[in-house]
Amino acid sequence: MPAPAPTAPRVPVLGDPTRVSTGRLAGFDVARALAVFGMVVVNFRGRMASYDGLLDINVWLMDRMEGRAAALFVLLAGVGVSLRSRKARQIGGSTLLAERMALVRRAGVLFVVGLLNVHIWDWDILHVYGPFLVVAAMLVGASKKRLWAATAAVFLITVAFQVAFPEPVEPPYWTPQGLLHSMVFSGNYPALPWLVFLLVGMWMGRLDLYSAAVRERLLWVSGGITLGAEFLAWTLRTIGEDWPPLWFQWVSTWPRPSGPLYVIAACGAAVFVAMLCVIVADKRARSSGTVALTATGQMALSLYFAHEVAILIPMEHTSLYGMPVEVPMLYSLSFCAAGVAGAVWWRSRWHQGPFEMVLRQVSTRSAPAWGGGLVGAGDRAQLEVSKDDAGLGALGGGPGSARGVEDAGAPAGAPAAVGKDDGG
């Protein structure tokens, strides 16, 4: 009996019912993409000094995004640390120590790169991510209760410092004292209180995020906290119009300086967006939109540097200062569209973005994945997720990784019960 003729492999395209991720929660990559978009919009507006608009609603929307996208980035970094280190926490000993050292190496690379980047980009976030990861390395084996205790300690210390020093004197930036003061107290992303976002993310990563009940509980609770904090801030500002100016730091949800209500509102918003992305992406995992945003989120570090070039060069040759907010809004949306298209094209050919490749090689001492797409030449539209993503939103490891270290003997794509065996 003659053998059946071989059939040509099916070539999937975006939107086909093909697997988008293997053992991962693609929603965290989607959330990271949204964080990239938010930072792009905010930074483009800031560089153009655009504070008035043709429509008040656009100004209101831009104001609401201030400090939220960056908070989401930091929270996703904490999620990534916990998801990546799950197996190491189970094994303990030298395995957990190796995980800590990998985080410290990555922290060192990001700190140095960030300090260099500060020379051309005042709003660099990488140089503070480095110290954040050192804190994450110290607490990577902590229980959920200890993470909450650390979160409360950071929040209360921040409040105490702001009470004691309502208008702190900043030393010159390029001195050891000035750099430390900026990273801890007075910078754009000071450790007090921004470590709260990282620690809450680490706590989230210990939960069973495959459970629909856990996801919905996080979604509704975080949404309620955000609305409650915003309503309380609005009420206090309304009744305290004649109070001293420093009062508004305490009742404002504006990120600079980062008052208590801002921290609560931004943290709630970050958890809400992350959970919403996880829920939606899980239901539409094979849609072209999810695939495209997943690819974008996995190249957050490369897009972060690209957005600097996209605004700094035009600002050198054109007079864009003081334009209506609609101008940076449209320009940033155009960049985001181009970034999505570029990310899909790149990730269909290579495992990681260009800067993600370098960061992974330097910080984890692994062989670079320069060549070859994630899938075969005939299946390049299928964006299979790599196990150890080194993107900006997951500086401790891929935030979508449900296992961090592949479970021995588990079938490919089998979800792990995240967080069920974590203490606390």
Task: Check residues 24 and 348 and name the one with the higher pLDDT.
Answer: 348
How many residues make up the chain in this entry? 424
21-29 mean pLDDT: 71
Query: Which token pair is 256?
Result: 């600079």
CA nearest to 422, candidates 212, 82, 143, 198: 143
Measured CA to CA, the distance from residue 378 to residue 193 in angstroms comes to: 48
Backbone phi, then psi, for 296, in 5-degree steps? Answer: -65, -45
How many Cα atoms sit within 13 Å of 349 on the Cβ side?
A: 8
Peptide bond into 354 cis (omega under 30): no
Whose tokens are 């906290």? That residue is: 225
- pLDDT-derived band at 155 (thresholds 50, 70, 90) equals very high
Please state, in angstroms and rounded to a whole number, the distance separating the CA atoms of residues 141 and 419: 12
pTM for this predicted structure = 0.83
- What lies within 8 Å, CB to CB, of 296 at 6+ separation is 29, 32, 33, 36, 303, 339, 340, 343, 344
List the one residue out of 76, 96, 77, 94 whose CA is nearest residue 86: 96
The Cα–Cα gap between 33 and 106 comes to: 21
Q: What is the pLDDT of residues 228-269, one digit of tens each?
A: 999 998 888 888 767 776 777 778 888 888 889 999 999 999
* Cβ–Cβ under 8 Å, residues 208 and 417: yes
Q: Given the structure tokens 């229980």, which residue do they identify?
A: 143
In the three-class reduction of DSSP (H, G, I as helix; E, B as strand; rest coil), residue 401 is classed as strand
* Interval 98-154: pLDDT, tens: 999 999 999 999 999 999 999 999 889 999 999 999 999 999 999 999 999 999 999
Q: Cα separation of 424 and 415, whole Å?
A: 22
pLDDT at 364: 66
Which segment of 302-311, 333-342, 353-362 scores lowest on mean pLDDT? 353-362
220's enclosing H/E stretch is helix 212-239
Asked whether residue 317 carries a pLDDT value surpassing 60, the answer given is yes
Q: Say if CB 262 and CB 253 are below 8 A apart.
A: yes
Residues 6 or more apart in contact with residue 301 via CB below 8 angstroms: 353, 355, 356, 359, 390, 391, 392
- For residue 6, what pLDDT band results from cuts at 50, 70 and 90? very low
How do residues 388-424 score in pLDDT, each as one tens digit?
443 344 444 444 443 333 333 333 333 333 344 444 4
